[in-house]
Amino acid sequence: MKHGQLLMILDDPQHWLYRAKQMRRLAEDTREPKTRRMLLSIAEGYDKRAKRAQERSEPTTMIAAKVLVGTRG
- pLDDT category of residue 69 using cuts at 50, 70 and 90: low
pLDDT of residue 63: 56
Q: 31: domain range?
A: 3-72
Number of domains in the chain: 1
Question: pLDDT of 9-51, one tens digit each?
Answer: 678 999 999 999 999 999 999 999 999 999 999 999 999 999 9
- This prediction has a pTM of 0.70
Residues 35-44: pLDDT tens digits?
A: 999 999 999 9
- 39 neighbors 26 (Cβ within 8 angstroms): yes
Residue of 47, 43, 46, 16 whose CA lies nearest to 30: 43
**pLDDT given for residue 32 in this prediction:** 97
Angle between helices 13-29 and 33-57 (to 10 degrees): 170
| Integer Cα distance of 28 and 67 in angstroms | 36
